[in-house]
Amino acid sequence: MLFDTHTHYDDEAFDEDREPLLTSLPAHGIAKVINAGATLASNEKTIRLMQEYPFLYGAIGIHPEGVKELNEEKYQWLKEQCGLEKAVAVGEIGLDYYWDEPEKELQKYWFNRQLKLAKEMNLPVIIHSREAAKDTIDMLRQEWTETMTGVIHCYSYTKESAQIFLEMGFYFGIGGVITFKNARKLKEAAAYIPIDKILLETDCPYLAPVPYRGKRNSSLYLPGVVQELAAVKGITPREVEEVTMENAYRLFTKVPRLGTER
Ligand code: NI
């Protein structure tokens, strides 16, 4: 059984077949799914999906590209949603310097506020960090405490940076990118990161693994990621499945184990 720790099933790419697709996941070995909020609207949709699908959980948070719509009132709304039973993380939050907008200071301000929110609500964080390794590390270090934990989603940095995140106890989300031809840096990092710190994720509808690259991604393609990760780590796909499942339960403590759901 697999745990897809990062999805966007609220995305319009799933408007045509969301219900049959999601309903089919458990029969295909996808036991648990976390849908990550990115905008206020996608958080609302995430909450609806949490109510509709027993195996689906939510991360509540605003993506760095969406922070312009935040203010105190909306922040309070986010905080209230973090108290929901099936809200299992704060995310996805972070820094994205790939585009010029929103300005770095605004991204940093809301990243810091949402890190503090996670601490206050005692929830793990799901971090989106692109071309912003140094600032991400600095900001995490500034807020870091013994109990703070989370995952660097879609890990894209070097193994040297991985060592720093590991020292802070973070997990690493690995998905379709590891199957790409040009994934040498990621494979190097994945070989270095201990298997008990790796989580499986799709980031669907984005980043479909080879041979579906460029197409709409879904949790159904996770086995391709498992295969590649098994090859990189020199273990069996079965071991990758079992260990990453345990890792996800260890990090997302609000997600009940299979068969113990209420
Ligand atoms: Ni995402």
pTM exceeds 0.85: yes
Centre of ligand 1 to C-alpha 203, Å, is 5
Separation of CA 141 and ligand 1 centre (Å): 23
Per-residue confidence (pLDDT) for residue 40, from 0 to 100: 98
The rounded Å distance from CA 12 to ligand 1 centre is: 14
Cα(154) to ligand 1 centroid in Å equals: 8
pLDDT in tens, 103-147: 999 999 999 999 999 999 999 999 999 999 999 999 999 999 999
- 62 C-alpha to ligand 1 centroid (Å): 11
Task: Report the mean per-residue pLDDT for the chain.
Answer: 97
Question: Is 182's pLDDT higher than 80?
Answer: yes
CA of 143 to the centre of ligand 1 (A): 22
Q: Cβ distance 93 to 127 under 8 Å?
A: yes
User: Residue 36 C-alpha to ligand 1 middle, in angstroms?
Assistant: 6
Res 2 pLDDT > 80: yes
pLDDT band, residue 261 (cuts 50/70/90):
confident
The whole-number pLDDT of residue 259 equals: 84
Given a cut of 80, whether residue 262 has pLDDT beyond it is no
- Per-residue pLDDT for 98 more than 80? yes
- Rounded to 10 degrees, the C-alpha dihedral 255/177/26/124 comes to 10
Q: Cis (ω within 30 of 0) for the bond into 211?
A: yes
Distance 11 CA to ligand 1 centre (A): 11
**Quick one: pLDDT at residue 206?**
97
Q: Where are the alpha helices (DSSP H) in the chain?
A: 18-24, 40-52, 72-82, 104-121, 133-143, 159-167, 184-192, 222-233, 237-251
Q: What is the pLDDT of residue 213?
A: 96
Closest CA to 37 of 103, 128, 106, 121: 128
**What's the mean pLDDT in 194-199?**
98
Q: Residue 92: pLDDT above 80?
A: yes
Distance 165 CA to ligand 1 centre (A): 19
143-168: average pLDDT? 96
Q: How far is the CA of 59 from the centre of ligand 1 (A)?
A: 10
Q: Distance, CA 38 to ligand 1 centroid (Å)?
A: 7
Residue 155 CA to ligand 1 centre (angstroms)? 11
Quick one: average pLDDT of 188-198?
Answer: 98
Mean pLDDT of 186-190: 96
How far, in Å, from the CA of 8 to the mean position of ligand 1? 7
Read off the pLDDT band of 184 (50, 70, 90): very high
pLDDT tens profile 197-218: 999 999 999 999 999 999 999 9
CB burial string 90-115: b at 16+ within 10 A, e below: bbbbbbbbeeeebeeeebbebbebbb
Residue 205 CA, ligand 1 centroid: distance in Å: 9
Q: What pLDDT sits at residue 24?
A: 98
Find the 7 Cα to ligand 1 centroid distance in Å.
6
The span from the CA of 19 to the CA of 187, in Å, is 34
Distance from Cα 35 to the centre of ligand 1, integer Å: 9
What is the CA(257)–ligand 1 centre distance, in A? Answer: 24
